[in-house]
Amino acid sequence: MTLAQERPTITAIAHPLEPLTPEEIAAAVAILRQEKSLGATTRFATVTLNEPAKEIVLGFRAGDAIVREAFAIILDNATAQTYEAVVSLTQGKVTAWKHIPDVQPPIMLDEFSECEAAVKACPAFLDAIAKRGITDPSLVMVDPWSAGHYGLADEAGVRLSRALCWVRANPTDNGYARPIEGVIPVVDLNKMEVVRVEDHGVVPLPPQSANYTPEYVKNYRQDLKPLEILQPDGPSFTVKGHEVCWQKWKLRVGFTPREGLVIHTVTYNDQGEERPILYRASLAEMTVPYGDPLPHHYRKNAFDVGEYGIGTLANSLTLGCDCLGSIHYFDAFMTNSRGEVAQIENAVCLHEEDFGILWKHMDWRTEATEVRRSRRLVISSISTVGNYEYGFYWYFYQDGNIQYEVKLTGMISTAAVAPGEVPKYGTLVAPQLYAPAHQHIFNVRLDMCVDGLHNSVYEVDIEPEDDELNPYGNAFYAKSTLLGTELEAQRLVDPMKARSWKIVNPNETNAMGYPTAYKLIPGENTLPLARPSSSIIKRATYMTKHLWVTPYSPDEKFPAGDYPNQSAGGEGLPQWTLADRSVENTDLVVWHTFAHSHVPRAEDWPVMPVAYIGFMLKPMNFFDENPSNDVPPAASKHSCCN
């Protein structure tokens, strides 16, 4: 058969930002295999849409011709070389092919299972666990953690995983209750061979089980009555391909293997005018540094976006559990590492939620009361990274607010201690079982487009007035400071000043003459606790600032660089911003870092209740008045206001 016969038929695409279809992914892989003679040792780390230039997307009109391209990252296990490729699906050929030296692509999902099999087949590992009384390796759980970068000569250029292990009491047992402390198999993922087994001494297995599934939990509380979410007329949103329209919002839903959920081209219809706010928003990186210096744990510093790909780890969501109401799901398509098309059904959930009061006022003279219920559009995806679950939620509100929230749940990473020992760097959650303290540090990339592509960023602090202008001592005001260059725009939160940052279009004004803007309001936050000299700070310097601002560049996508896996550091935001480019009245990107410091508690075991963290984007003189004045009173048959 010819290549043309082998390639799947590609159907017409309605918009340049539509994700690659399964047929397009298969065609891209087939073209790469033929043109570059890719053999059995080749792995496809990424095959995703090569997004068109911003000006093409913003200028697109229905019926325009669309050029489709795929971007691929390819690893050859035999040569340990990494390549980037661009495939023109329109022309049916490879248009760019580049060797990327001295980098490691993310650890791929297939490598997880292959790594576990290699560890369980290793005689040195079997000897190590036998010392601990473990005779059935089939009950061992192996989590392939990234190895990081610690300047060790024998690790240079070797694609490594430093695997951590647990053991189940039976096939359905929660293995995280019994860590195999002190045993660390180090695996060459290119050769899929164990290169060494570190053994730092026998620590007894913790004695207690910690199961949480219906198989084990029998005494559920009996006093809960049903709580139904009813939308008899269906939802208020409409979906066309990956374009979503809801109330006055319009946006596109995207998905990549690395970032997971992506939001594109967000606009708000203001009295008939579709006003742009965001061009592209995504979780660009997240890092989880652990605070335990013991041999088993000091290298636990996961980059869940750059080292694993949060999109490849997305769950298939289920109606009635992850989302409630009238749901629309989006599937996600990508490849496994062997280039076969992989589908995650229901990877993204779209639905509406009631969110309490939108606004209310009672005129006490007339006793007339007006109240409006708030409704929000929810776009969400949930990923499982080994022991942890992360839920990623974008909320759009009727008053023009945008919220990003991460929900953290799942299983805390556990460690074992000797009987009677109380750990300094973590919390005992069961006898001889502790969870080390750690942080979850996120960075969201916000390609802003507030009323157009020319924006500036101001820092806003609430300041007390100077004494000479403050005779009664009560005066304070909002002080706005322009952040004109990249170095000026590297900032920290300051809750004592109610600090926020506003993204302004200096060329547009509202009815009162204020420049139109959106305000970034930080939520919970902290700084990384590792020393500046530590490996993790060098590799994830983005964590040291809560705000970074850069002029838009299509090549600047990830705050810790394109290939953080085993990198020495220095790439990404710290490298780009050395140029101290102007970010005034230009096409710019706002990078917001926010962190959750987690000192575990007994209540986090065996499954952690959800912790919430995120930020808000709120209109600030973007509108002439409250844009939700026209929201009608509640009309639900089940509402007391009816």
Query: Annotated catalytic sites, by residue?
Result: 304, 388
Token pair 């606009």 in the structure block, residue: 267
DSSP codes joined into one string, 131-192 = TTT---GGGEEEEEEE------GGGTT--EEEEEEEE-SSTTS-GGGSB-TTEEEEEETTTT
Residue 454: exposure state from Cβ atoms within 10 A (0-12, 13-18, ≥19):
middle
Q: Which residues pair with 243 in a beta bridge?
A: 240, 252
CA quadruple 348, 350, 356, 360: dihedral, nearest 10: 130
Token pair 């202008």 in the structure block, residue: 469
Angle at 261 between CA 164 and CA 503, to 5 degrees: 115
CA–CA gap between residue 137 and residue 120 (Å, rounded): 6
What radius of gyration, in Å, describes the C-alpha atoms of the chain? 26
CA–CA gap between residue 580 and residue 53 (Å, rounded): 24
3-state secondary structure of 56: helix
Query: Which of 88, 67, 68, 85 is closest to 76 using CA atoms?
Result: 85
Q: Which residue type, as a one-letter code, is found at position 163?
A: A
Report the relative pairing of strands 402-410 and 547-551 from DSSP bridges.
Answer: unpaired
Neighbours of 471 (CB within 10 A): 9
CA–CA gap between residue 458 and residue 493 (Å, rounded): 13
3-state secondary structure of 474: coil
Instruction: Compute CA distances 41 → 7, 44, 82, whole Å.
Output: 22, 10, 12
Token pair 């300041």 in the structure block, residue: 463
Please report the beta strands in 200-327, taking only residues with DSSP state E, as ranges in sequence order. 237-240, 243-246, 249-256, 260-270, 273-289, 301-303
- Around 175, how many Cα atoms within 13 Å sit in the side-chain half-sphere? 20
Spatial strand order in the sheet of 69-76: 42-49, 69-76, 81-88, 93-100
CA–CA gap between residue 444 and residue 283 (Å, rounded): 4
- Around 622, how many Cα atoms within 13 Å sit in the side-chain half-sphere? 29
Contact 184, 198 (CB under 8 A): yes
